[in-house]
A and B are shown apart, each in its own frame.
Chain A
Amino acid sequence: MVSRLAGGRNPLGRRSFLGLGAALTGSLALGAKPGNTEPAPASPPADAPWSQSIGPGVVDRPYGRPADPEASVIRRNVPWLSAGTESSISFSPLQSLHGIITPNGLFFERYHAGRPDVDPDRHRLMIHGLVDRPLVFAMKDIVRFPSVSHIHFIECPANGGMEWRAAQINSLQFNHGMISCAEWTGVRLSTLLDEVGLKKEAKWAMVEGADGAHMNRSLPLNKCLDDCLVVYAQNGEALRPEQGYPLRLLVPGWEGNVSIKWLRRIKLGDRPWYSREETSKYTDLMPDGTSRGFTWLIEAKSVITFPCPEKPLAGPGLYEIRGLAWTGNGKIRRVDVSTDGGVNWQSARLHEPVLSKALTKFTLPWRWDGQPALLESRVIDETGYVQPTIAQLRKQRGLNSVYHNNSIQTWQVKPDGSVFDVQLA
């Protein structure tokens, strides 16, 4: 190793080279194996190179970005899943995230006609139909209304959709990454609807985006008045273009596609619209040939995020099993964890804050003995609803319903610590 460094090309400056040399000496003194090609650890007693230099100053990165070694922590797509990337989805890297908030640059994406670049000065929200006075709002109007900030998840109902027939994707990111959670700031939709004044015949709202798909869905008025938000900020900054800049709808606890991005129009009516996105898509085909429509609710779901296929175990010993749970019904009441494929369960610790229609973090200490294990988590929400197994879901819905697979995930741990996505009988 020393000879490779000494004899090879040395791209480092003298100062750095000296630092590295000191680190090398240190590691050799600690008994590093000869022939080890790993870079020398910047470990004690040596000083690391970055401890013997001065770094870039403030505003070197006026916005900021993740550390370079984190370059693999990105949204990713499944290229074979869709015809192109414009009507497609990307997945959040849950295996590398911590806590309940998804960083804005890693929030999963779903587009129906690509990501539009909307000029906020020219963007408008029109509310009309069965209202007393139809209004057009500019962004400057929207931000004047009383504001609220709420933490909520958004999940695409197709999350886990590739696993209805069998385990086939060996990844936390690709099996569960169509969910993200953020703090959203905006105005209550009920405030805006009060401002236009609802006619008494108004029972439904059609919400529509300014993207090329003019993406639209119907929502029952009681949900609009209950907890829907019209938001312009996400985790403290303006919405990202990927998330609907400058304005989106946020429908807490319901399937993500109803949270219309680039929101430009809300029309009040007496009946639903039966748009393409709520008839030919986002409906659930049952084995008897019937289909369920308007299945908006995200039922309770949980998943172990460590260990997982992307983050295997390094050998026997004490670990913290970590995971996330969520429900469109409100709050998480309990999460149970099994290490033996669902034979025995222990309740995990829920971490505050436990918020309504938000991700909730859970953990459970686990001493792994190096034997094969089958890890599962099972959530129970505040309504008493219990997360089902895939077998229970299939019994009700067959194999072709595509959406709303909220089943228990089983991770198979092998003696070498590797982790695989499996399904049990």
Chain B
Amino acid sequence: MFNSLKRALPICMSLIVAAGTFARAAEPGHFGYGDKATPEQIAGWDIDARGDDGAGLPPGKGTVQRGSEVYAEQCAACHGTFGEGEGRFPKLVGGAGTLRDDRPELTVGSYWPFAPTLWDYINRAMPMPAPHTLSADDVYALTAYILNLNDVVPNEFVADRDSLPKVKMPNRDSFIWTDPRPDTMARPCMSACANPADLQIVSTAEGRNLTPRTTGPLDTMQPK
């Protein structure tokens, strides 16, 4: 009796909802598809560490010194021995104070607002040929080393779940997290919207030799 009531109740609820204007089901498990995620399954995939407060950072720790060793082995080939970046691979270091410049340099030190984000990104996506294969300790060590290269933490800094959220990144307070757009207020004028004599072509792509070909085989052009 109890059992059948338990079963009948969600069905009645969902029928009421279905009869209304909402297409959404009312009760969890309305369809009953899928399997319950076990704690082991969740633990295996629950890899995220939140940027601003480090929620989700795992146990473990790493020093700047250990980080320099892991970095030389795993990262330097693309990012350069001191984070200067090889070829077009990203620079990790430098650019402090350049964000208002004509050619700003956006690096971990000059741009990234949150230190735990660095742990999260290295852990989930690096090294590029073998992502998510480093131990938590090595990821902490790399995080410490890259922050140290940027003069954000001292040589003796030890990165762990408690220390990383406390690191104040230089650019932390420069982000606005609500979209201010629309920020242009064009009016759709239809005729005599400008003086034709004022029309001036200020730049043209003609003759710049930056455009790959759009017929025939794929282009392999590199900048001159």
Contact = CB atoms under 8 A, between A and B. Distances in A.
Q: Do A and B come from one complex?
A: yes
Interface of A: 72, 74, 76-80, 82-83, 86-87, 93, 95, 112-113, 126-128, 131-138, 141-142, 144-146, 166-171, 173-174, 188, 190-191, 194-197, 206, 208, 212-216, 264-265, 267, 269, 271-276, 279-280, 283, 285, 287-297, 299, 309-310, 334, 336, 340-346, 374, 378, 380, 385-389, 392-393, 396-397, 399-400, 404, 412, 420-425
Given A276-B117, A310-B214, A285 B208 contact: no
A345 B210 contact: no
15 contacts: A78-B212, A79-B222, A83-B78, A134-B42, A168-B208, A170-B205, A174-B214, A188-B23, A195-B33, A267-B48, A334-B188, A342-B199, A386-B184, A387-B186, A420-B206
A79 to B, nearest CB: 5
A285 B111 CA distance: 10
The secondary structure that dominates the B interface is: loop
B182 A144 contact: no
Contacts of A294: 177-179
Interface string B175-205: 1111111111111111111111011111111
Contacts of A133: 28-29, 36
Interface stretch (B119-127, B134-142, B145-153, B156-164): B119-127
Given A112-B125, A412-B201, A93 B28 contact: no
Contacts of A74: 218
Contacts, number: 289
Given A344-B191, A380-B188, A291 B125 contact: no
A168 B218 contact: no
Interface residues of B, number: 92
B199 A274 contact: no
Nearest to B220: A79
Contacts of A206: 48
A132 B204 CA distance: 58
Contact of A385 (B171, B182, B191, B193): B182
Nearest to B206: A420
A222 B20 CA distance: 21
A270 to B, nearest CB: 10
